[in-house]
Structures are given as structure tokens and as C-alpha cells.
């Protein structure tokens, strides 16, 4: 079921390294709550869409493709599965900043592609499985772990 659209939100570009860190920390809080809410809600169509988004991301990474758009689509599917139009609007508004932060993390990573892609599949898979299982606590924790992992990969411990 499509949620009513909200007017666009303008967050502006990420201007510096502290902006990128603050952006990822913001996403961690928002998306953890979003994933937990998606797990609480039992919308069969939204869950099928989420599973397809997970599978598309896995296929992209297995093929060794950049998968940035599939990654964004997965997070948008989590927002949609939450049933909350404000999560949907925020995620749509953050798409460009998300593209930038993913590119930056990948460009600065010294992790081999195969290992990085395996991590992407594993982390997104955990999020999706927890949501699909209706486990709100695990879904929120998996999303937080995924986004904190991005912070650690970019900024170190």
C-alpha cells in the first residue's frame, strides 16, 4: 500500500568529514527505529518487497557490481515496511547523501571487494531476516550494527 507523499525535505549536501560522521550517526538512530517498526508491522506486501530488495542487493554484490542503488532501495524498502510515511520521506530525502557516504566509505576502504560485498550481504541479510521474522529488537540492533559498522569502516575505532 502506497503511503501519502510528503513535501520534499532538503538536507543539503554533506560538506565535510564531520558532516559525514554526523550523517551516519543520524541514520543509525532513525533507521534502527525504522527497522524495529517494520518488524512490528505485519504487511505481507511490504515484506515481500523488502525480501526482493534484499535479494536484488545480494545479486548485485555477487556479480561484483557497485550496488549503491540496490543498497539505497533496500533501506527505502525498510522505510516502506515500517508503514510510517515520515520514515519514507526521510529516507527519500537522504538518498543523495547516502550515495555520497557509500561511495566515500568504499573509496577509502582497503578491504578487498569480495570481502566488502560479503559484509554487505551479511549485514543487510540480518536486518531483513529480523524484520521478516517480526523481531523488532533484533531488527533495530541489526540496523544499528550495520550503520555503526559503516562508521567504524570509515573512521576506525
Distance between CA atoms of residues 11 and 13, nearest Å: 7
Q: What is the pTM of this model?
A: 0.90
Residue 1 has pLDDT above 60, yes or no: no
Q: For residue range 87-100, what is the model confidence (pLDDT) as tens digits?
A: 999 999 999 999 99
Residue of 33, 60, 24 lying closest to 142 (CA atoms): 33
Q: Which of 11-25, 63-77, 84-98, 108-122 has the lowest mean pLDDT?
A: 11-25
Q: For residue range 43-56, what is the model confidence (pLDDT) as tens digits?
A: 999 999 999 999 99
- In this structure, what C-alpha cell is assigned to residue 19? 558532516
Q: For residue range 97-149, what is the model confidence (pLDDT) as tens digits?
A: 999 988 888 888 888 889 999 999 999 999 999 999 999 999 999 999 999 99
Residue of 52, 40, 44 lying closest to 77 (CA atoms): 52
Amino acid at each position: 500500500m502506497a503511503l501519502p507523499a510528503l513535501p520534499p525535505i532538503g538536507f543539503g549536501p554533506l560538506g565535510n568529514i564531520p558532516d559525514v560522521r554526523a550523517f551516519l550517526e543520524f541514520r543509525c538512530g532513525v533507521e534502527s527505529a525504522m527497522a524495529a517498526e517494520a518488524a512490528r508491522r505485519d504487511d505481507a506486501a511490504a515484506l515481500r518487497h523488502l525480501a526482493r530488495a534484499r535479494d536484488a542487493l545480494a545479486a548485485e554484490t555477487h556479480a561484483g557490481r557497485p550496488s549503491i542503488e540496490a543498497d539505497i532501495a533496500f533501506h527505502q524498502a525498510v522505510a516502506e515496511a515500517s508503514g510510517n510515511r515520515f520514515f519514507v520521506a526521510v529516507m527519500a530525502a537522504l538518498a543523495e547523501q547516502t550515495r555520497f557516504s557509500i561511495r566515500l566509505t568504499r573509496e577509502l576502504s582497503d578491504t578487498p571487494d569480495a570481502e566488502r560485498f560479503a559484509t554487505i550481504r551479511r549485514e543487510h541479510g540480518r536486518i531483513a531476516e529480523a524484520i521478516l521474522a517480526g523481531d523488532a529488537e533484533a531488527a533495530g540492533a541489526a540496523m544499528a550494527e550495520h550503520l555503526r559498522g559503516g562508521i567504524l569502516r570509515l573512521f576506525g575505532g
